[in-house]
Chain A
Amino acid sequence: MGSAAAIIIGAGHAGLAVSRCLSDRSIDHLILERGEVANSWKTERWDSLRLLTPNWQSRLPGFGYQGNDPDGFRTMAETISFIEDYANLISAPVQTHTTVQDVSFADPGYKVKTDQGTWLCQTLVIASGACNKASVPSFAKYLPPSVQSLSSMQYRNPEQLEQGGVLVVGASATGTQIAHEVHQSGRPVVMAVGEHVRVPRVYRDRDIKWWMDAAGVLDERYDEVDNIVRARSVPSLQLIGSRERMTLDLNALRKIGVRFAGRLAGINGGKVQFSGAFKNICALADLKMGRLLDLIDEWALASGTNDEVPPPYRFAPTEVEDSPTLIMDLSEKNIRTVIWATGYLPDYSWLNVPVFGRKGRIRHDGGVVEAKGMYLMGLPFLRKRKSSLIDGAHDDATDLCDHLSAYLDEPSGNSSSEGVLCK
């Protein structure tokens, strides 16, 4: 049985950033990875996806973008090499093709059982990702069998889909990008739109992510926001990383012919029902975008950036028809496929430690789990608004490794000496 002061589960950007911070603190550790470095990027993304953040913005501890297109958006292949290069650079101790099957208390520390053997560790960092499974509403099972049903995790490209209409459920970054690509392939798209976050790609000649980074929006802390539970479940920004720096909001999709209805509320006998709240959903998104742009304009004035960029402007409100569709007969509208872009969930089925709160979420305070010596990384708004971004891993890993290191140094309550003996 092997042992380490720390075991990290997952060799994505989050796990690797933690590894680098632990190495900096001379804490002996191991990364367990079910597949290969950057596994989810290699196996669970659609083909055309590019990162939604500009190249310059993926700043990991001791590593960043070195090419000559800082404002571009990485393809999946480029994202994978970026993360692989980082793993090589920091000589990350990754044990690949090792699937964690069970984690339990070992008193002190944790016992980590995998398909390649068992390890003991004093501390555990869970960096296995926020998007392990698609979250699909339970009424999806009422779809007629003649209609193809796939989640955004199963979607790769439009050629997978039959010819004919497609209903895309969900209007976050995933739903809007898939709707765009599928509609352009000649398969007419209807989108079911629930709560969403509308932003322009570019505002006053700068990328929205540049503004959010510069104005400190992305640095807002989890203990500063009004309702962190809600902040952690806000859908992703409607963004696409494209060469044209295209804005991909509902108005842009409407312009190419995508049609819309409210949130999908039910399926009944081959008919789908949409919520009648679509107008308000769009009003909420427009108002929220307005507040973000107000905040950016205020910051631009205060910081002196105002004179370097064009003057403020606003975008047309989201266009909504007077009476949006409430009921749609799938066969009548020739809808052959439904794509569920209704969000993702982490998979903690292997974690046998009582740390779960409501709805299967792990109870934690900014990534510090209630169970001593256990940490979380790489979840939405874990410690800061940017925690969901690759760029968020730097600050989160630094903070959590400080905590982890102090915990290992505590004279009582853990077993750093025993850990050394085990080696």
Chain B
Amino acid sequence: MVNNGVNVAALLEAREALTEAPEAAQFKWRASCEWKNGTHSHSTVDSFYGLGEEQRHRTVYSFDADHPEVFASEDNGATPVELVLVGLASCLTAGVAAVAQHRDIQLKSVKATIEGGMDVQGILGIDSDVRNGFDGIKVTYDIDADATPEEIRALVAQSQKRSAVYDIVTNPTNVTVEVN
């Protein structure tokens, strides 16, 4: 019996239900961020909206973000760009587990390393031809599972195809920032 700790039956039921009730599929994800000092900020996630009503996480999760000391900061947390990498890697990894469960593949271990290249001449305003963001992101998986190498490659490919963060990172998104 394959068990990756993913309740595929529930996910498939949800897919069925949300096909019939597309309005319940409309979710809103949120975070709040408060400046502390310098480049240090403290963010929390708590509520979100979905299935037609307000929802709550089991508990409030919080994240400190800062810049490292080489940027003359205090390094009270991960840099925001590292949090993006964390988001991408954890999204893809969750996808690997879900797809594996659906395909009856038992996972033994899944490890990802992720690296984003960046020329900081962009954010420092040294060269306007250099973009602020990553010039590329590389994710490397080491996966031990009861499956052929082809099947493992297909798992990882399918996980990218269904990943929200992968889509957010690879496609443009309109961003609106307002000041109250």
Contacts and interface: CB of A to CB of B under 8 A. Distances in A.
Interface residues of A, number: 15
A174 B151 CA distance: 30
A106 B102 CA distance: 47
Contact of B170 (A268, A275, A287): A275
Contacts of A268: 172
Contacts of A323: 135-136
Interface residues of B, number: 17
Main secondary structure of the interface of A (DSSP, over half): mixed
Main secondary structure of the interface of B (DSSP, over half): helix
A265 interface: yes
Given A265-B171, A265-B172, A266-B172, A277 B160 contact: yes
A276 B169 CA distance: 8
Interface string A323-341: 1000000000000000000
Contact of A284 (B136, B161, B166, B167): B161
Contacts of B19: 358
Contacts, number: 34
Nearest to B161: A284
Contacts of B154: 287
A280 interface: yes
A275 B166 CA distance: 10
Contacts of B172: 265-266, 268, 273
A277 B170 contact: yes
B157 interface: yes
Contact of B153 (A266, A287, A358): A287
Given A280-B161, A284-B158, A290 B150 contact: yes
B169 A287 contact: no
B157 A284 contact: yes
B157 A287 contact: yes
A262 B169 CA distance: 13
Nearest to A276: B170
B153 A283 contact: yes
Contacts of B153: 283, 287
B169 to A, nearest CB: 7
The listed residue with most A CB atoms (<10 A of its CB), out of B154, B158, B169, B172, is: B172
B123 to A, nearest CB: 18
Contacts of A275: 170-171
Given A287-B150, A290-B150, A262 B158 contact: no
Interface of A: 262, 265-266, 268, 273, 275-277, 280, 283-284, 287, 290, 323, 358
